[in-house]
């Protein structure tokens, strides 16, 4: 077979056209089930990520010196610039250096066996390494390749070979020196086994948690590296495990999963042991395309004491992800005995063989690469797998995520601004909503903002950023269905509660004008997210690109209310409600969000028809303007709710809606479970101005609060009673007092939270906010228990890094729904997925009386949401079992019973109640698994069939 004339070829940085050809060539071997379009789209996505930007990722082609830009090049490879560490025995501290990982070495079949690949790898040294470290370029190779600006700075480079070490070891930068010297390693493998008896108290880690931990370990590596170098008596080197490495492990799996539909989408990517003095955790990925399926540990820190607990959690993760095997590389020797006791088998492995090229003056024989990043002794073991690429022959492929530091910063900001509220229904969904509204914590590069023009192609680009990993799905029904003819509710269910249980309200009636309604929200019920000109929201972007946050189901379809609303309204009327609370999708009305962007008239056509349908059925519409869905373009434009410009854009959106529907809608909610006072107050100001001008009809406006005034864990504890007041002020008073009180935050809030975290309200702010609500609305699902943390309130309050700061309530476990005095629960527990929720109806009057005493409103009080998650409803398979939601039905009757007593015995001006929800829907980070509906939705049927539950038939007492 003819060999190449090495003087006639050289190595060149690939043009964009050559880069695409290279990817198309290796598609057939490395796609792992993806189609070509998906494979190329995946690469285009990851080219924009942290590891690749600013020239850190480059593709190289071996081509003729006479035609460097030819698309008929011989072979190609990729390099990734990474930060490395070097520790010399004579140095006291490790040195941070530039190093490179090499990946995607690919030679087409027709060019194999001719020496192209080995010569490309020889020339690559002259691209990466300082020229003076390589000696004289061999004359028979012609001229050395041109070294682009910014390269030639490597201290070492690494690749991971799937074809053994011979080829790459022979690819030296001259005839006498080796190229990449292979290092053997030990692989420890377990077959899945149940280890539940060793399971301990752990926290399952989401993607952001794993990235944060890897970032922390980069610091740990630096501290320990000098000790390791001196122990080895050699020069030691390694890559630092940050800069997108942890993120890469996860993103690679998610990007390949569309090609492996038989595999589940992982929900968690690691586990951490709680309560240990020293950090103990593991992170993992599932190996796509392997047989048998394997859960591979990407990073491990543990001790002999914690290893059985960690291993038991790993086994549970393997079961959840359909993995037969578990694999750890270079397990610390101190853990080998325990590993063998639990069935682990260790062996030397040649798979993904790590190989090092050293560019220092010392001989490579005196250099040791800690190739799985680290393997620390003295009881702390860290293992790190760094061999996950699209080719399987190199280190990193094109991936990258975010700066873990900035993500951590964003999480702190969320907490410090009280967005991450305390174990309530809003917590996970709004943390998610806010997390992705804040680009400090972006998980995949956000699309460029659209600030002008606002063309269809601009909207298409926004949607392309949503569909980087997972395309938007559509419902089977894509036309509005008219109400059914001859509709019937069906037979009543049997009576399930004795009449005497409501004897104290049997003669009481709901007051005239009382709003007895149900509630929904656009993101949770509409679906049709990419239909009729709607723009993407934070939820669309987050749940498509970061699916584990959303229980692996984006809100593309939900219950398809967009097309089924007429029949849903028909079914609501049959229930006997006179009011329905729903939200309008900001990004459906303003696809680009900005005040200078066009209104989507098709959205108005939908909401026109929706409101008219309610009125035609004698159901009063109550409209919420914002229920946690932010236009994605505002996030790209100026970080949305991190920037004051959101006030004007939101107020413009609100005024547009007021003008359109102000003569049909008389009750308005600015924000669901509020986070922003100035935006709320500005919208109210515009609403009242329109009323005064006679542009719209008279009506009422406010916002919806959430949470509860807790009861003390121990009524005889002074600190628990103090915590009741602290919780009430920092959770409810922080939003309520400025509106319904003196215009400013409560004193406890001002004392607890420094001004650099919670900017103080100016006199102008206070004047704007005070009185900016006509009624008081609260989502009163349950009552919490206030328990003092172990270190006390005072110590917590002084320590901003305390996990319980600023409220300083003990949330180390689930909120305890019981009292230390009685030992009894406050009421029946809801489903474990909603562990914050219980039937605390006996305390509803306690709540309403406190609210009325502290925040009186001229328009009275509304319970804007209350509802219950029937335990394990999602596990039931027979319809008759699903629809018999007795605990939910009891909860609703109990609450309505107490509401009547609050009106007639306590004199509370309670004006209405809204049950969550009309039907099962998309429960935020729990997606469609958690069920709150009065109607069952069968997600396996094309028309998402609804069925009334027992709770639907429970009329208000009296």
154 in Cβ contact with 99 (< 8 Å):
yes
673 is catalytic: yes
Beta partners for residue 156, in sequence order: 99, 358
Classified as helix, coil or strand, 30 is: helix
Q: Count other C-beta atoms under 10 Å from residue 200's C-beta.
A: 16
598's tokens: 């066009």
547 three-class SS: helix
Residue 389, CB-side half-sphere exposure with 13 Å CA sphere:
26
Tokens 């009673």 label which residue? 721
SS3 906: coil
Q: What is the C-alpha separation between 352 and 368, in angstroms, rounded?
A: 17
DSSP 8-state symbol, 825: B
Instruction: Give whole-number Cα distances, 393 to 120, 160, 401, in Å.
Output: 15, 6, 22
Structure tokens that stand for 621 in this block? 């519409």
Dihedrals phi, psi of 548, to nearest 5 degrees: -65, -25
Spatial neighbors of 363 by CB under 8 A, at least 6 apart, are none
| Residue 262 zone, left/alpha/beta (φ > 0; ψ -120 to 50; rest) | alpha
Q: What tokens appear for 207 in the block?
A: 């993607």
DSSP string, 570-611: HHHHHHT-SEEEEE--HHHHSTT--TTSPP-HHHHHHHHHHH
CB 777 within 8 A of CB 705: yes
Which residue among 207, 673, 870, 923 is the active-site one?
A: 673
3-class secondary-structure state, position 870: coil
* Distance from C-alpha of 527 to C-alpha of 787, rounded to nearest angstrom: 40
SS3 content of the chain, % helix, strand, coil (to 5): 40, 20, 45
Question: What is the number of other CB atoms lying within 10 angstroms of the CB of residue 835?
Answer: 15
423 vs 401: CA distance, rounded Å = 28
Alpha-carbon distance 463 to 587, whole Å?
Answer: 12
DSSP 145-206: PP--TT-S--SEEEEEESS-SHHHHT--SSSSS-SSEE--EEEEEEE----GGG--SEEEE-
SS (H, E, C) 750-814: HHHCCCCCCCCCCHHHHHHHCCCCCCEEEECCCCCEECCCCCHHHHHHHCCCCCCCCCCCCCCCC
Give the span between the Cα atoms of 152 and 98, in whole angstroms. Answer: 10
Report CA-CA distances (Å) from 418 to 286, 734, 804: 35, 9, 12
CB 145 within 8 A of CB 12: yes
Residues facing residue 185 across a β-bridge: 349
d(CA 567, CA 684): 33
Cβ proximity of 674 and 735 under 8 Å: yes
- Residue 938: name the closest of 883, 869, 867, 871 by CA: 883
Alpha-helix residue ranges (DSSP H) falling in 298-363 = 307-320, 336-341
The β-bridge partners of 100 are: 81, 157
Which residues are annotated as catalytic?
Answer: 673
């Amino acid at each position: 077979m003819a060999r190449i004339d090495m003087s006639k070829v050289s190595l060149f940085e690939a043009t964009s056209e050559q880069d695409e050809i290279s990817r198309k060539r290796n598609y057939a071997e490395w796609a792992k089930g993806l189609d070509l379009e998906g494979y190329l789209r995946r690469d285009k996505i990851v080219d924009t990520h942290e590891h690749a930007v600013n020239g850190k990722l480059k593709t190289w082609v071996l081509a003729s010196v006479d035609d460097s830009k030819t698309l008929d090049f011989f072979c190609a490879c990729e390099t990734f610039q990474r930060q490395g560490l070097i520790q010399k025995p004579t140095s006291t501290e490790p040195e941070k250096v530039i190093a490179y990982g090499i990946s995607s070495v690919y030679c087409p079949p027709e060019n194999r066996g001719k020496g192209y690949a080995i010569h490309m790898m020889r020339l690559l040294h002259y691209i990466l390494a300082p020229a003076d470290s390589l000696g004289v370029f061999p004359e028979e190779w012609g001229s050395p390749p041109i070294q682009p600006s910014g390269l030639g700075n490597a201290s070492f480079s690494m690749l991971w070979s799937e074809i053994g070490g011979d080829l790459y070891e022979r690819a030296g930068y001259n005839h006498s020196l080796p190229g990449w010297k292979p290092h053997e390693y030990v692989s420890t493998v377990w077959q899945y086994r149940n280890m539940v008896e060793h399971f301990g108290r752990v926290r399952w880690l989401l993607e952001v948690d794993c990235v944060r931990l890897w970032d922390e370990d980069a610091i740990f590596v630096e501290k320990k590296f000098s000790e390791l170098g001196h122990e080895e008596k050699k020069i030691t080197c390694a890559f630092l495990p940050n800069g997108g490495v942890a993120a890469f492990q996860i993103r690679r799996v998610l990007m390949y999963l569309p090609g492996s539909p038989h595999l589940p989408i992982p929900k968690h990517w690691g586990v951490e042991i709680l309560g240990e003095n020293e950090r103990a955790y593991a992170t993992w990925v599932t190996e796509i395309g392997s047989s048998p399926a394997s859960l591979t540990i990407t990073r491990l820190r543990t001790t002999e004491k914690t290893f059985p607990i960690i291993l038991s959690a790993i086994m549970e993760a393997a079961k959840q992800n359909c993995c037969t095997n578990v694999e750890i590389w270079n397990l610390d020797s101190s853990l080998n005995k325990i590993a063998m006791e639990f069935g682990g088998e260790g062996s030397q492995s040649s798979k993904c063989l790590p190989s090092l090229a050293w560019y220092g003056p010392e001989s490579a024989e005196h250099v040791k690469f800690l190739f799985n990043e680290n393997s620390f002794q003295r009881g702390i073991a860290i293992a790190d797998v760094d061999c996950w690429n699209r080719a399987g022959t190199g280190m990193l492929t094109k991936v990258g995520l975010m700066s873990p530091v900035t993500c951590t910063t964003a999480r702190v900001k969320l907490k410090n601004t009280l967005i991450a509220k305390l174990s309530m229904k809003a917590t996970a969904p709004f943390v998610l909503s806010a997390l992705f509204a804040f680009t400090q914590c972006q998980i995949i590069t956000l699309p460029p903002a659209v600030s002008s023009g606002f063309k269809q192609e601009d909207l298409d680009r926004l949607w392309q950023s949503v569909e980087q990993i997972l395309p938007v799905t559509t419902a089977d029904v894509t036309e509005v269905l008219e109400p059914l003819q001859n509709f019937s509710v069906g037979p009543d269910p049997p009576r399930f509660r004795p009449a005497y249980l409501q004897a104290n309200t049997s003669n009481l009636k709901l007051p005239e004008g009382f709003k007895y309604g149900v509630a929904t929200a656009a993101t949770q019920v509409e679906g049709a997210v990419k239909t009729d000109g709607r723009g993407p929201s934070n939820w669309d972007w987050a749940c498509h690109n970061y699916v584990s946050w959303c229980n692996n189901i984006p809100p593309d379809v939900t219950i398809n209310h967009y097309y089924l609303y007429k029949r849903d309204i028909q079914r609501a009327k049959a229930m006997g409600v006179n009011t329905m609370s729903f939200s309008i999708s900001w990004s459906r009305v303003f696809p680009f969000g900005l005040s200078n962007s066009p209104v989507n008239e098709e959205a108005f056509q939908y909401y026109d028809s929706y409101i008219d349908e309610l009125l035609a059925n004698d159901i009063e519409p109550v409209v919420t303007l914002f229920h946690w869905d932010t236009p994605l373009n505002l996030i790209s434009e100026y970080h949305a709710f991190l920037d004051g410009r959101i006030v004007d854009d939101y107020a413009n959106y609100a005024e547009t809606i007021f003008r359109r529907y102000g003569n049909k809608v008389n009750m308005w909610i600015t924000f669901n479970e509020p986070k922003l006072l100035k935006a709320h107050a500005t919208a109210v100001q515009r609403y009242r101005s329109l009323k005064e001008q006679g542009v719209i009809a008279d009506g009422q406006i406010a916002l919806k609060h959430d949470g509860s005034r807790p009861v003390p864990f121990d009524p005889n504890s002074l600190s628990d009673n103090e915590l009741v007041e602290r919780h009430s002020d920092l959770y409810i008073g922080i939003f309520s007092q400025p509106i319904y009180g003196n215009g400013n935050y409560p004193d406890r809030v001002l004392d607890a939270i420094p001004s650099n975290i919670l900017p103080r309200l100016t006199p102008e702010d206070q004047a704007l906010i005070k009185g900016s609500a006509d009624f008081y609305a609260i989502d009163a699902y349950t009552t919490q228990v206030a328990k003092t943390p172990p270190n006390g309130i005072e110590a917590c309050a002084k320590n901003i890094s305390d996990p319980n700061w600023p409220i300083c309530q003990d949330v180390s476990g689930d909120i305890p729904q019981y009292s230390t005095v009685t030992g009894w629960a406050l009421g029946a527990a809801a489903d474990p997925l909603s562990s914050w929720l219980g039937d605390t109806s006996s305390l509803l009057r306690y709540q309403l009386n406190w609210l009325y005493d502290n925040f009186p409103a001229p328009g009275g009080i509304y319970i804007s949401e209350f509802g219950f998650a029937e335990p394990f409803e999602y596990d039931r398979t027979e319809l008759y079992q699903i629809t018999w939601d007795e605990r939910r039905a009891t909860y609703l009757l109990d609450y309505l019973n107490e509401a009547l007593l609050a009106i007639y015995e306590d004199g509370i001006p309670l004006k209405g109640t809204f049950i969550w929800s009309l039907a099962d829907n998309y429960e935020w980070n729990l997606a469609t698994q958690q069920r709150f509906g009065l109607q069952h939705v069968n997600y396996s049927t094309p028309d998402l069939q609804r069925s009334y539950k027992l709770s639907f038939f429970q009329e208000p007492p009296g």
